[in-house]
């Protein structure tokens, strides 16, 4: 039997804050943001949300920073990545984040005149490199 490995996640939700673009020492763009995704609930139940930390690199980071703001609807396709470290109190810490391979719009972008809606730019898909 061959090994089967699959790590893919698709999220649709809203940004919880404005994304902030940063640069690594070597000049590579990176952005981190959080996406709130509503859980499925039964009729009459209180709505609950899960919050996912997302990191995007290079052109995908630039795309997110340019077109998305707090409250924007977004679709993220990527992989899950786990990190472990020991904090300053010698406690072992864990984190799971989504590393975005693709991001796309969910809604049409409103025209700056406040009137009609215009088509949003096409989704951006990162090409793995480095």
pLDDT for the residue numbered 104: 94
β-strand pairing of 49-57 with 92-105? parallel
- Determine the straight-line distance between the first and last CA of the chain, rounded to whole angstroms: 32
Phi, psi for residue 65 in degrees, rounded to 5? -65, -35
Residue 10, both tokens? 């698709």
Q: Which two tokens stand for residue 82?
A: 């786990």
- What is the pTM assigned to this prediction? 0.77
Residue with tokens 């070597």: 26
Q: H or E segment at 40?
A: none
Work out the angle at residue 82's Cα, subtended by the Cα atoms of residues 78 and 85, and round it to the nearest 5 degrees.
Answer: 145
Quickly state the pLDDT bin for 129 (edges 50, 70, 90). Answer: very low
Percent of the chain, pLDDT > 70? 82
| 75-111: pLDDT as tens digits | 999 999 999 999 999 999 999 999 999 999 987 665 4
């Amino acid at each position: 039997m061959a090994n089967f490995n699959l790590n893919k996640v698709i999220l649709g939700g809203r940004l919880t804050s404005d994304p902030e673009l940063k640069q690594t020492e070597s000049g590579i763009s990176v952005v981190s943001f959080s996406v709130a995704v509503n859980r499925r609930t039964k009729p009459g139940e209180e709505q609950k949300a899960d919050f996912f930390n997302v990191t995007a690199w290079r052109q995908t980071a630039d795309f997110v920073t340019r077109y998305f703001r707090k409250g924007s609807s977004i679709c993220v396709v990527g992989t899950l990545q786990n990190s472990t470290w020991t904090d300053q109190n010698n406690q072992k810490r864990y984190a799971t984040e989504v590393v975005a391979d693709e991001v796309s719009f969910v809604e049409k972008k409103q025209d700056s005149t406040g009137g009609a809606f215009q088509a949003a730019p096409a989704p951006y898909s990162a090409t793995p490199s480095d």
